[in-house]
Amino acid sequence: MKIGYLFPGQGAQSLGMGKDIYEKYDVANEVYRKVQELTGIDVAKITFENEELLNQTQYTQICILTMSLAILEILKQNGIQAEVASGLSLGEYTALINSEALNFEDGIKLVKKRGEYMQKLVPEGEWLMAAVLGMEEEKVIEVCKLANEKSAENFVVPVNFNCPGQIVISGNKAGVETAEVIAKEQGARKVRELKTSGPFHTEKLKEASEALKKELGKVEFNKFNNTVIKNIDGTEYKETDDIRDILAKHIISPVKFTAVLQKMLDMGVDTFVEVGPGKTLSGFIKKMPTEKEIKILNICNCETLENVLKEVK
């Protein structure tokens, strides 16, 4: 069994996520307490009681990260580790903390800043993200090009290459809505708008990227204790990589998650465990073309956690 962890990103949040784990496991409760101490944010209260705040980027990211890290502590206590890990956008930070390349305190503080910058350092305007389903990468790229040509006011680009047949587009409301119409006309099975609040992974977050780079400059990175696959190109982090530069570019660059999953499969991962809210990433793996038998598990509550502990142990 070769285990690969996957960590969800923004959009996977839901009110009450992880509450039963928080209440049952002292080690999980302790993670929430430490995060509150480091950030001044009552993550438990927001996650379990305040949907409006939970859906604001400056809180969403830290809440999802905290839940995933709380589950990881329980897995560690039970002697379960992964040889390789990755995450979708925000989830890459969870993977870096899990690998100890980024220590817990620095990781928490960075994600707090990342969420704040991605919410506040965004140009004025109405922004939207949407998942285009049932369409090939090249066609989605062409759809965005056509949408931008329709009007000088339109801005839309493909940003998350999640898995075969699912590409997320991001931009201003006019651009994304134009692209939605064109995509449907050209045969997209469905277009679904996402629970996000900015033009993430586009050049519009340049100011946020530059601000984050300054924060990253204050952080020391350590030796990796497992393999982490990068969002920006689907390759593994090397000790010689400029991690600060990669993470700063991360929020203005497309997420190549199809390449991430393919790399994990090529490395021999046969058991994927999604750690955190939802089952989105588990769904992505199911769409990957592979002949080998793979097991897909996810942990988002006590029941699924206990299933994984039985299955893996």
Catalytic residues: 89, 201
Half-sphere exposure of 279 (CA within 13 A, CB side): 7
Q: What does the alpha-carbon distance between residue 157 and residue 202 come to, in Å, rounded to a whole number?
A: 7
Question: Which token pair is 66?
Answer: 């905290």
State phi, psi for 28 to the nearest 5 degrees: -70, -45
Using alpha carbons, select from 47, 197, 38, 52 the residue that is nearest to residue 113. 38
Given strand 227-228, what is the order of strands in its sheet?
Answer: 227-228, 84-87, 3-7, 271-275, 295-299
The tokens describing 297, both together, are 């598990």
Helical segments of the chain, H only = 19-24, 26-39, 43-49, 51-54, 57-77, 91-98, 104-120, 137-150, 173-185, 206-216, 243-250, 257-266, 280-286, 302-312
Q: What does each C-alpha distance from 12 to 17, 105, 192 come to in angstroms? A: 10, 23, 14
Q: Quote the radius of gyration of the chain (alpha carbons, Å).
A: 19
